Amino acid sequence: MELKNKNKSLVAYFSAMGNTAEIAKMIAELTGADLFEIKPVKPYTREDLNFREPTSRCCKEHDNPKARPEIVEPMPDCGKYDKIYLGFPSWWAEAPRIILTFLEKTKGLEGKTIIPFVSSHSSPLGQHGTLLHPFAPKANWQAGVRFKLTPPKQDVEAWLKTIK
Ligand SMILES: Cc1cc2nc3c(=O)[nH]c(=O)nc-3n(C[C@H](O)[C@H](O)[C@H](O)COP(=O)(O)O)c2cc1C
């Protein structure tokens, strides 16, 4: 099956430690999609990512449903894409809050197909995708996929072949 099609897709991803970034690059390479890194204005340090420390940045953001970490501009205009692959790590079996910033600030998501892809240590896909639907209610959400950390390229390719 031909994975590269003439309608442009976008791979938009956030990755704090590099695993999601690897998957995003594989998807872009295999599909010919454009790549956009959802880059925090304030990068996450090791201390920020310490989920065992209740006062760390990641814990504070997790505890605050209104937290919206800022993203380095410019944001992509999704109007020109049909399909958006949206990648992020699993944080407490949910998307990090910066993904909500992305969904709320990005223009042109109405009617677009959004396909979540998640990198996690052990959490399954679960509600990672569905919890995001209210933040882009007019998009056409697909179920998406969860990979363990950075999977082999063949696994990513096999998954892409299942997408219509
Ligand atoms: C704050 C935080 C919370 C995490 N929560 C989970 C979790 O609930 N389930 C899980 O399987 N992995 C969890 N992990 C592990 C990451 O999802 C995993 O290492 C992922 O590959 C990181 O992707 P990245 O390298 O793109 O940042 C967590 C990691 C961090 C830093």
CA of 19 to the centre of ligand 1 (A): 9
Domain limits for position 78: 9-39+72-160
Q: Is residue 104 in some structural domain?
A: yes
CA–CA dist 132, 128 (Å, integer): 7
**Residue-wise pLDDT tens digits, 14-45:** 999 999 999 999 999 999 999 999 999 999 99
- C-alpha of residue 24 to centroid of ligand 1, in Å: 16
91 pocket-lining for ligand 1 (C-beta < 6 Å): yes
d(CA 73, CA 52): 31
Confidence (pLDDT) at 6: 63
Name the amino acid, one letter, at 26: M
**CA dihedral sign, ordered 134, 135, 138, 140:** negative
Token reading at 113: 């197909």
Which residue's alpha carbon is nearest to atom 2 within ligand 1? 91
Q: Which candidate, 11, 19, 9, places its Cα nearest to that of 37? A: 11
**Residue 46 resides in a domain:** no
Residue 122 lies in a domain: yes
Domain count, the chain: 1
CB 90 within 8 A of CB 146: yes
pTM score of the predicted model: 0.97
**Residue 100 falls inside a structural domain:** yes
- Give the CATH number of the domain where residue 139 resides: 3.40.50.360
Residue 151, domain member (yes or no): yes
In a domain, residue 56? The reply is no
**Distance in angstroms (rounded) separating the CA atoms of residues 141 and 111:** 9
Mutate which of 120, 128, 156 for ligand 1 pocket (most atoms within 8 A of beta carbon): 120
- Structure-block tokens of residue 117: 């892809």
Whether the CB of 16 sits within 6 Å of ligand 1: yes
Q: Which ligand 1 atom is at minimum distance from the Cα of 121?
A: 11
Instruction: Summarize pLDDT for 57-93 with one digit per residue, the tens.
Output: 999 999 999 999 999 999 998 999 999 999 999 999 9
Which atom of ligand 1 lies closest to the CA of 59? 1
Point out the ligand 1 atom lying closest to the alpha carbon of residue 16: 27
- 127 lies in some domain: yes
- Rounded to 5 degrees, φ, ψ at 156 are -70, -40
In a domain, 58, yes or no: no
Return the structure tokens found at 31. Answer: 């599909």
Total length of the chain: 164
51-56: Cβ within 8 A, 24+ apart: 51/91, 51/92
